[in-house]
Amino acid sequence: MQDRVARRIWTASGKLSAYIQIASLKRLFSQNWIAVSTATACLALLVTMIATSPSRLCYDEVVYQLEQVQTVREVGWRTTLTSPNEISVGPLYAAIQLSLSPLTGLQAPAIRWINLVCFVAVLLIIAREDQAPPFKAAVSATTLLAVPFLWPAVGMALTEIPALLFFTIFIFFFLKLINSGVTLSVETFAWSIAAGLCLGVAILGRQTYLVAIPVVVAMVFWLPGKWPVVLICFVTALAVCGWLFLLWGGLAPPSWYYRNSPSPFSLTNGMLSLSYAAAATLFLNPQWMRPRAHTAWIGCCIVGIALACFWRDYMNPPAKSLLIRALGDRTGLLIGFVIGCALAVFGVIWAWNIFVMAWQARQNPRRVFLLLTLVALVLTPMKITHQFSSRYVVGLLGVLFLVVGAPRELRGAWAARMLAGSLIGAAILWTYFADTTLR
């Protein structure tokens, strides 16, 4: 008798709990229906574009699939990584593609779904770092879709997103290490090793993440009581990726140095990187870009215009292929140059705001780590002197989101930014899918 009563009480309590959870979800949706609908629409657009994308390889997919993935299958890893070809990145992309080849058959568009899955994982990790309720944090994380130049990296089978996933996991574990109230414990050692492993793997995907290693070392000054675990993270990361640079005898394959004669650094690429970081911030959280003082705003405008006049390349504007397709050569280049000059101004404002934030947060290890990592990644394209690509900035978007802050008001203005950025991003991605001359 007592067992039957207990079972009934248990069943009733379970039903009540389920009803409460359903009511809570309904209330959340009713309060955030604009945000949920917008995020769903943007994700659905990206999924649709990948699902309907060409069955042929597009743009750099040709290089990575034919000259790396297929070559590894034929001659092995060592020969592929050292033989003369156009590949200048490590083996992470090829390793993931080959491991999932039973599912994808190494054919387009199936190979493109891998980047989408990796990107969704990045969003979930970023949402975990948000202080908002999980539902709102997850929706807020989708704001990354508003960054137009992210779409080609996610929508095509390129190398940036798998590396970004492992780098985001590294950030997650290292922040756990920083936030831990215990100086040294089994838990902090585990987080340190996990962070080092993920950083090393990310570097095997894109060498630009090497700049995070000096940042890890520098954190000893803000975490003096945790220097052993910081050192373990540093050593683990080097152990995971160091063999590749020993094999190459440098930061890139020997064949890359034969094809390119890099200068020490490129101020133009540094300015472009700042501009693209500022553009991403305008879509993520434009309130953060507001100058702290009118005099600073005026000064930044003057410096930005001067830099744009000296270093802005008229023939290479942002979203060049899209602008020329839509407006023609002459008008497209002119509009692109104006947009590029405006972004240069915003880039200087962005740099000033970062400096002010860094000074104010100089005693906060968490903020210092994120800011140092972000600045290092923004400056990295200065050393990639032979060319510049917006894809170099894609790798810092996760850290940028954590620095500038997640948007809290997921309403009309946010939805407008999401839709505008996603439509521009989709249009840029479409130019790659539609252009049969690109390789």
Distances in Å between the Cα of 47 and the Cα atoms of 97, 109, 155, 322, 408 are 19, 11, 8, 21, 26
Which of 392, 365, 429, 45 minimizes the C-alpha distance to 183?
365
Co-location of 223 and 351 in the same domain: no
**CB-based contacts of 252: which residues, under 8 Å, 6+ apart?**
88, 207
Q: Is 351 within a domain? A: yes
Co-location of 83 and 215 in the same domain: yes
Co-location of 80 and 210 in the same domain: yes
**Domain enclosing residue 326, as ranges:** 267-397
Co-location of 354 and 385 in the same domain: yes
Q: What pLDDT is recorded for position 374?
A: 96
pLDDT tens figures, 288-328: 888 767 777 777 777 777 777 676 666 667 666 777 777 77
| Cis peptide bond prior to 152, omega within 30° of 0 | no
- The pair of structure tokens assigned to 112 is 């493109």
Of 209, 227, 260, which residue constitutes the final position of a domain? 260
Co-location of 175 and 290 in the same domain: no
Distance CA 323, CA 67 (A): 31
Distances in Å between the Cα of 393 and the Cα atoms of 100, 104, 235, 354 are 27, 28, 26, 16
State pTM to two decimals.
Answer: 0.87
Task: Report which of residues 3 and 139 the model is more confident about.
Answer: 139
Place of tokens 């049969």: 436
Of 208, 233, 260, which residue constitutes the final position of a domain? 260
Co-location of 382 and 357 in the same domain: yes
Q: Is 144 within a domain? A: yes
Distances in Å between the Cα of 94 and the Cα atoms of 68, 99, 123 are 7, 8, 23
Q: Is 253 within a domain? A: yes
- Give how many domains the chain has, as a whole number: 3
Average pLDDT over residues 134-158: 91
Q: Is 302 within a domain? A: yes
Q: Where residue 32 falls among pLDDT bands split at 50, 70, 90?
A: confident
Co-location of 157 and 242 in the same domain: yes
Q: What pLDDT is recorded for position 12?
A: 54
Co-location of 273 and 204 in the same domain: no
Q: Is 427 within a domain? A: no
What are the helix (H) ranges across 105-260? 113-128, 134-141, 151-155, 160-179, 186-205, 212-218, 227-248, 254-259
Place of tokens 């949920």: 36
Distance CA 341, CA 327 (A): 18
Of 196, 227, 260, which residue constitutes the final position of a domain? 260
Distance CA 257, CA 82 (A): 12
Co-location of 387 and 253 in the same domain: no
Mean per-residue pLDDT of the chain: 83
Co-location of 47 and 155 in the same domain: yes
Q: Is 424 within a domain? A: no
Q: Is 430 within a domain? A: no
Co-location of 278 and 292 in the same domain: yes
pLDDT tens figures, 392-418: 899 999 999 999 987 777 778 889 999
Residue 124 has pLDDT above 60, yes or no: yes
Q: Is 46 within a domain? A: yes
Co-location of 178 and 321 in the same domain: no
pLDDT tens figures, 211-263: 999 999 999 999 888 889 999 999 999 999 999 989 888 887 776 655 665 56
